[in-house]
Structure 1
Amino acid sequence: MYRAARRYSIVVATLAAPLLLGSAAQAAGSTADGRVRISTAYELPGDRVYPEGIAADPSTGDLYIGSYEGGAVFKATPGQRVAKEFLPARGDGRSQALGLEVDRARRLWVVDRLTGVAVYDIPSQRLLARFTVTGQGARLVNDMAITPDGTAYITDSRRTVVYRVTPAELAKASEQGGETPLTPAFDLTTVVEPHGPDTITLNGIVAEPSGRYLLTVDMTGGDLYRIGLPSGTIDKVALHGGDIATGDGMELQNGTLWAAHPIKDANAISRWRIGSDGRTARMTRRITDQALQTPTTLLRKHGRLYVVRSQFDKGGPTGPGIPQLPFTIASVRGI
């Protein structure tokens, strides 16, 4: 998420088919041990937040967290335990705030699963532009990544496409106002393994730091795909040591990829070593721990992972029950 900071990625009740991790992935899995330390970094106000996405402002170190329930965005400031509301719930027509990113110009990009993406100026909190999905077909606008040239790429988990917003398109949309259609840049429907109807496919997406390629995960099929830039060449990444089934939000730094796994009580984070050309990935570690509380996405900063504890399975979109309050962001060290 992110990367201009992370990631959505969403788990919804319509993913009803059981998702099973491959035997190799299970063999590689491990429960968090003494070398992995999980604690609470930030608390979020509200009793129905169900956080989903997270992004970091590199200029200030502030974190922005999106809410699945109502679309509020919270701002977590280093040194302050409790985050504060930055954008109100249901503001500017948002119903959810999933994938989030902060670009170099300090603009906050907020994904709404049904409508598209809204872009805000952080200092003024002003809405700059809205990019919307056209057509009446099913859609689930999900996660996003921003490349060094300022281009944003956004996954649609129902249509199995990746949308693109260039800096020129953002400038034009900001100048003209109103809504601008989201334009599909890459269609992976003929590449991704066939699944049943209404299946969530493309979810988390990250950009290689120099902008050579994107990586996006098919959370149902457990595959990782490389999209070459600017060519658009699409390749399935050769995975070693397991698959990436139930993969949601991801983070890529210095050749290491981290992925959150929230579905079917996974409560896991996997770590992968990415080949120099982005065409291979080897699982180097996987931890599972109930303290992750259904992690939807994550970002890495100062040697630790900040993990979104969605609690989607506690009265949220994927299960009954009552969430543990307050909703929180975890700090994970050692992976």
Structure 2
Amino acid sequence: MPSLRSLAAATGTTLALALAGSTSTALAAGPAAPVTAPAVTVSTAFELPGARVYPEGITADPRTGDLYAGSYTDGTVFRMTPGRRVAETFLPAGADGWHTANGLEADRSGRLWVTDSTSGVTVYDTRTRAPLARFEVEGDEPTFVNDVAIAPDGSAYLTDSARAVVYRVTPRRLAQARGGSAPLTPYADLSDAVGPNAPGTFTLNGIVADPAGRYLLTADMTGGDLYRVDLATRAVRKVALKGGDMLHADGLELRGATLWAVHNTVDTISRWRVTRDGTAARAERRLTDDALALPTTLTWHRDGLYVVRSQFDKGGPMGEGTPSLPFSVALVRGL
């Protein structure tokens, strides 16, 4: 795992301190935004109990409507139920030997995928909370398993921010590993596309799967690019972005042709219109707001975007100071 200093450098903390502190709720219309765009609101949806939560990932269960968020600093996974303000602990800190929770994804089969940046991903039964299988990265080179997406066929795809690769776990491999552990093997290597970077630099971060099962989209948070991985051929190509970029991009969310990206250290969410084949995307709107509190991931659920407020720059892995308690999840409407 890269050092926390490397993490701060890779995500541009210095730039964040220069920009984020002076912003207030502001909406900048992109080149193609309508003249009378609806107002955007940012409110608190849920509170996460604990003094050092520093949440990183979030997902919505497509079957139950519950949401889950994970703590980057101790690995606690919280469950949030609509109508209840305070989240409950779903998995305690240090469960099953891991101590950080990055990307989370709930699938349509009642499973919760939880990535541990230093090792891999563990799959849980959301009903019993029991671990079903664990997949671990092999080799001694630095690794940072970051985000996860589920394709329509049930396969899980995960980014490694340190190695610039995408891993895959198919339903068959999950069934074979059930009750035990197995290697997390690379599916697509994007290092040539991303290009060389300084040691410790983070590249691939957020990842989403096309609802039709044709491709993946993953963001290079340092280079500012978006990449398309063809699920039939594994071919990698850079997505043509118009009206913006993916600098500081962390979590992604895709609904139909609409793609949202959180840009963590600049307290921003951008919205994009993606072409049907996923080869181009046009910026539509952009929200920058201090109230997002260094957002790292988001998910669309029912009435808006639920966004984790990581506060990584306030006494967490990217800065010094004191976080505002309680930690929370924001609801963004109108974007």
Length-normalised TM-score, structure 2: 0.91
Asked whether the 8 Å contact 2:11–2:248 carries over to 1, the reply is: no
Alpha-carbon separation, structure 1, partners of 2:59 and 2:95: 19
Paired with 1:260 and 1:210, the residues of 2 have a C-alpha distance of 23
Structure 2 partner of 1:26: none
1:202 is aligned to 204
Letter in 1 for 2:331: S
Counterpart of 1:25 in structure 2 is none
Unmatched runs of 5 consecutive residues or more in structure 2: 17-24, 29-37
Letter in 2 for 1:129: A
Retained in 2: the 8 A contact 1:193–1:221? no
Partner of 1:13: 5
Residue 105 of structure 2 is aligned to residue 101 of structure 1? yes
CA distance in 1 between counterparts of 2:331 and 2:282 reads 24
Matched residue SS, 1:172:
helix
By how many angstroms is 1:299 displaced? 0.6
Q: Distance in 2 between matches of 1:184 and 1:39?
A: 39
Q: From 121, 125, 130, give the equivalent of 1:126.
A: 130
Q: What is the aligned partner in structure 2 of residue 171 from structure 1?
A: 175
Say if 2:101 and 2:116, in contact at 8 Å, map to a contact too: yes
The DSSP-based 3-state class of the residue aligned with 1:48 is: coil
Aligned match of 2:20: none
Cα distance in structure 2, aligned partners of 1:267 and 1:293: 6
| 1:218-249: CA deviation from partner (whole Å, max 9, x where unpaired) | 00000000001121011100010011100000
What is the aligned partner in structure 2 of residue 239 from structure 1?
241
Q: Which residue of 2 aligns with 1:256?
A: 258
- Give the letter aligned to residue 222 of structure 1: G
Write the distance in 2 (CA, Å) between the matches of 1:271 and 1:247.
Answer: 12
- 2:63 corresponds to 1:55: no
| Structural RMSD (CA) | 1.9
Q: What is aligned with 2:274?
A: 274
Measure the CA separation in 1 of the matches of 2:176 and 2:11.
44
Q: Percent same amino acid among aligned pairs? A: 59
Cα distance, 1:11 vs structure 2: 11
The Cα of 1:298 is off from its aligned counterpart by 0.3
- From 65, 71, 74, the counterpart of 1:67: 71
Query: Would you identify which runs of 4 or more consecutive aligned residues in structure 1 move more than 4 Å?
Result: 17-21
Ranges in structure 1 where 5+ consecutive residues have no aligned partner? 1-9, 22-29
Q: Is the 8 A contact 1:308 1:328 kept in 2?
A: yes
- C-alpha distance in structure 2 between counterparts of 1:260 and 1:17, whole Å: 16
* Secondary structure at the counterpart of residue 284 of structure 1: strand
2:83 aligned partner: 79
How far, CA to CA, are the matches of 1:52 and 1:302 in structure 2?
Answer: 21
Shift of 1:197: 1.2
Shift in Å at residue 32 of structure 1? 3.8
**Structure 1-normalised TM-score?**
0.91
TM-fit CA distance, 1:35: 1.0
CA contact (8 A) 2:221 2:249 kept: yes
The answer to whether the Cα contact below 8 Å between 1:11 and 1:296 also exists between their aligned partners in 2 is no
Q: Hey, what does 1:138 align to over in structure 2?
A: 142
TM superposition shift of 1:14: 1.0
Deviation at 1:194, TM superposition (A): 2.4
Question: SS where residue 148 of structure 1 aligns?
Answer: coil
C-alpha deviation, 1:12, in angstroms: 4.9
Q: 1:31 maps to which residue? A: 26
Conserved 8 A contact 1:11-1:262: no
How far 1:18 moved relative to its partner? 7.4
Contact persistence 2:10–2:222 (CA under 8 A): no
**Secondary structure at the counterpart of residue 308 of structure 2:** strand
1:299 alignment partner, SS class: strand
